[in-house]
Chain A
Amino acid sequence: MDVPIEKLELSIDERRIRNEVGRITQHPAVSPLREPLVTGNKSYSDVTNDINVIHEQGAGLGWWIALAISSSLLLIGLIAGYLTVTVGIGTWGLNRTVGWAFDITNFVFWIGIGHAGTFISAILYLFNQKWRTSINRSAEAMTLIAVMCAGIFPIIHMGRPWLFYWFLPYPNSRGSLWVNFRSPLLWDFFAISTYFTISLVFWYIGLLPDIATARDRARTKFRRKLYTILSLGWNGSNRTWSRYETVYGILAALATPLVLSVHSIVSFDFATSLIPGWHSTIFPPYFVAGAVFSGFAMVMTLMILVRKVMNLEDYITLDHFEKMCKVTLLTGSIVGLAYITELWTGFYSGNPNEIFMIINRVLGPYAWAYWIMFTFNALVPQLFWFKRFRRSIPLIFVLSIFINIGMWFERFVIIMISLHRDYLPSSWTYYLPTTVEAGLLIGSFGLFFTAFLIFLRLFPIIAASEVKGVLKYAKH
């Protein structure tokens, strides 16, 4: 059998093999007009290096300063949390009419932030949006951290937070007293824990190949050990890759309805109740759009910082921002439409309580909050109709922060303004937050940024294996 292959006669078999190989190795048709997703003409090795160097090299002064600031904020939150748990919810500004204000506002806000990560990693994956690869890892990390920030609030807002496990339907000594499966809060509990679990798994699965890379490159004992455990023995086998891709697809397919369901369920907290301003069927889509909206704003804020500080301009390009701006514009417009619809249905209902609620929102004592919300969420994103604005990093940065403020106020408006004046004028009150509540809000940002900074130093912040997969996106 020393005859070289090419000299063999082209038997039928041989022809079949050639055809088959040719078919398999054929490239899909790709438009030559495509802009490359990653600029700078990177090789696979460059990608590996660029991404891994970030967490391998010693942290810069900027990172330490950022950590110092964010962990100080976190400390404020810890003190506020300590006071809340030891002294009582009385340290907050709530009263017998306004039972929720900052707490649930923060909760819904953070849950909403989380939605962008899942949207980017799951929905854009299903829609085959290759540009997601540069940002999905950090966006997913943001999701996880945001859900953690969010999860703190329903626990700490409880009068007796140490009993939070009573939400679980477990057989107990009360013989067996179960839980109320009709309560939206319980739905929340299930939705958020599922959301967190699936997001964590999704993120971790995506991280496995990159952890393996980090393991291969690790120079310190700690990192080698850490990554060896975390990589679970990943070896890049195609058999694994094959299953991996299947599972990734399944998770993306599961996370897609999940991302829609979580904020819908969060909105049920309000929609299923009877308070005017809460009791509204528009809430699920309105909340989901708002969540994606605020989440993208937060992703943009973060990415602008990360890109700048970590020199990732080649990976996170202006095109990425332009696309995110478009999503923001779309969701922002949906949110704006929802605001107007809310006003309309309020008046159209003919129900005096609903009409009063609308008037109280727009002109009442907390009208300023409503107008911050309306301006920042419905009007400000309209600037993204212009390409010039969609490609201006400083402007995007400022607007994304505005949108985040606006979206926080949206939840505040819905929760607080609806509650403080409901059916019986006798129980109408005002609400003023206390320093403890402000501390918890500040602390949640502290936790968010601290955790994100640690993430930056510990894991590859861009999905290297996925970027490698789309490196030739525009080359073929």
Chain B
Amino acid sequence: MRNTNNELQRYTAAYFSNEDDLKGSTAEARLRGFTIHDVFSPFPVHGMDEAMGLKPSRITWAAFAGGLAGLVTAVVLQIWTSAYDWALNIGGKPFNTPLLFVPVSFELTVLFSGLTSVIVLFYLSGLNPFSKRKSLPGVNDDKFVLVLDHSGASFRKEAADEIFSKYNAEKVVEGDLV
């Protein structure tokens, strides 16, 4: 990763063997003013968001918006096609039969909402089939990694090491973020 000055950024990655150490070290590092680049784990660790100080995701709102769009699309499409664009006498029923439009409206609401939330997830997390992004070694197996960013003014190597050792870091790696 390059900063705005196009300089390579430095990082320190600490590997832990369990989620508790990761969570503790992350919380501690954040509270002590370190810039947490990211945390990597094989499974979602409970309380990690809080440890990292992440705000609740707004994807929920996107899902709601998507659902609303689906509902509106469905209702408008059904009423417009059935009662206005080409109204046909079907089984003697009135042209506009809102009750009979409920199932499709529901399904489209769900579909739009679900797809929107997934698309937003992919977009925000940079997930796409062409991504060449790799995981840190062992992250998808049994390793828990805390990556601290050097760029912030608050980075102090000794303090960091101290936190790492307090939480039984298995190894600490320093390098450039590419």
Cα A239 to Cα B36 with chains together (Å): 11
B126-156 toward A: CB 8 Å interface, digit per residue (1/0)? 1111011111110111100000000000001
**Beta-carbon contacts under 8 Å, B113-135 to A:** 113-115, 117-118, 120-122, 124-129, 131-135
Q: How far is the CA of A2 from the CA of B162 in the complex (A)?
A: 10
Are B103 and A187 within 8 A (Cβ)?
yes
**Selected interface stretch from A58-66, A70-78, A152-160, A250-258:** A250-258
A178 in contact with B118 (CB, 8 Å): no
* Pair A236/B42 contact, Cβ less than 8 Å: yes
Contacts known (A236-B135, A246-B60); A197 close to B27, Cβ less than 8 A: no
In contact, B113 and A238 (Cβ under 8 angstroms): no
| Min distance, Cβ B158 to any Cβ of chain A, angstroms | 6
The one of B43, B118, B159 that contacts A209, using a Cβ cutoff of 8 Å: B43
Name the residue on B nearest A205 (C-beta).
Answer: B118
B15 at the interface (CB under 8 A from A): no
Across-interface contacts of B82 in A (CB, < 8 A):
178, 181-182
* B12 interfacial by beta-carbon distance below 8 Å: no
Residues of B within 8 A of A229 (CB): 129
**Is the beta-carbon distance between B142 and A5 smaller than 8 angstroms?**
no
Q: How far is the CA of A177 from the CA of B81 in the complex (A)?
A: 9
The docked-state distance in angstroms from the alpha carbon of A236 to that of B132 is 14
Do B133 and A233 touch (CB < 8 A)? yes
B127 touches A232 (CB 8 A): yes
**B172 CB-CB contact with A under 8 Å:** no
Interface size class of B (residues with CB under 8 A): 35 or more
The residues of B that contact A4 with a CB separation of less than 8 Å are: 162
Docked Cα-Cα span, A469 to B142, in Å, equals 11
Q: Which residue in B41, B50, B120, B142 is a CB contact (below 8 Å) of A45? A: B142
Contacts of A28 in B (CB 8 A): 46
- Mask for B50-68, Cβ within 8 A of A = 1, else 0? 1110101101100100000
Known pairs A187-B103, A250-B60; A194 contacts B110 (CB<8 A): yes
Contact A17 B28 (CB under 8 A): yes
> Across the interface, do B108 and A194 meet the contact criterion of CB distance under 8 Å?
yes
A window 26-50: CB within 8 A of B:
27-28, 43-45, 48
The distance in angstroms between the C-alpha atoms of A217 and B140, with both chains bound, is 9
- A-side binding surface: helix, strand, loop or mixed? helix
Q: Is A25 an interface position by the 8 A CB rule?
A: yes
**Which residues of A in the span 275-303 have a Cβ within 8 Å of any Cβ on B?**
none
Q: Scan B66-93; emit 1 where CB is below 8 A from any A CB, else 0.
A: 0000000000011001100110001101
Number of interface residues of A (CB under 8 A): 76
- Minimum CB–CB distance from A233 to chain B (whole Å) comes to 3
Name the contact of A246 in the complex, choosing from B24, B43, B57 (C-beta under 8 A).
B57
Question: A187 contacts which of B20, B104, B127 (Cβ < 8 Å)?
Answer: B104
The answer to whether A238 and B131 touch (CB under 8 A), given A186-B104, A250-B114, is no
Interface: A261 (CB within 8 A): yes
A244: chain B residues at CB < 8 Å are 44, 121, 125
B59 A208 Cβ-Cβ under 8 A: no
CB of A243 closer than 8 Å to a CB of B: yes
Q: Contact between B40 and A24 (Cβ–Cβ < 8 Å)?
A: no
Judge if B8 is at the interface, Cβ distance under 8 Å.
no
- In angstroms, Cα B44 to Cα A469, docked, is 7
Report whether A235 and B133 are in contact in the complex, using a CB–CB cutoff of 8 Å: yes
A6 to chain B, nearest CB (A): 8
**What distance in Å separates the Cβ of A463 from its nearest Cβ neighbour in chain B?**
9
CA A95 – CA B40 in complex, angstroms?
62
* B interface with A by C-beta (< 8 Å): 20, 23-24, 27-28, 31-32, 38-52, 54, 56-57, 59-60, 63, 77-78, 81-82, 85-86, 90-91, 93, 97, 100-101, 103-104, 106-108, 110-111, 113-115, 117-118, 120-122, 124-129, 131-137, 139-142, 156, 158-159, 162-163, 166
Instruction: Give me 14 other A-B pairs in contact (C-beta within 8 A), A48-B140, A232-B127, A257-B110 excluded.
Output: A25-B27, A25-B47, A178-B86, A182-B100, A194-B111, A216-B141, A232-B122, A233-B126, A238-B45, A247-B118, A255-B114, A261-B107, A268-B103, A465-B44
A-B CB contact pairs (8 Å), 14 listed: A4-B162, A5-B159, A43-B142, A179-B81, A194-B107, A232-B128, A238-B45, A240-B127, A243-B57, A245-B44, A246-B60, A250-B117, A268-B103, A465-B43
